[in-house]
Amino acid sequence: MSYLLALSPSINQVFIAPEELQIGPDLIEYLDEHGIQHSETESLDDALPSLDACYMMRIQDEYGTTSAELRKKYDAFKLDTDRLALMKDD
């Protein structure tokens, strides 16, 4: 999705995830090379008020390979009604 969004260079891409699941250096390098604004954060609550759109992917853990410590962080990345209220009205 980031490569597609990069076709519109005015879009500032914000990657919200625990550090262990953040975007890879290959994508950061691509965005930097193409002058695409981007940032990373671990706080969904801090980022939501400034976003114009939010594209979310589920955390794939069907095989239970994710550490118990990382699973504890999942709740901080669930989009519920309280978090929807943080977003812009439009």
Query: Cβ atoms within 10 A of the Cβ of 16, count?
Result: 21
Strand segments, DSSP code E, in the chain are 13-16, 38-41
Q: Which residues, 6 or more positions from 40, have their beta carbon under 8 angstroms from its beta carbon?
A: 14, 15, 16, 17, 22, 23
Average pLDDT, the chain: 89
Q: Is the pTM of this model over 0.95?
A: no
Tell me: the pLDDT tens digits for 29-67? 999 999 999 999 999 999 999 999 999 987 776 666 667
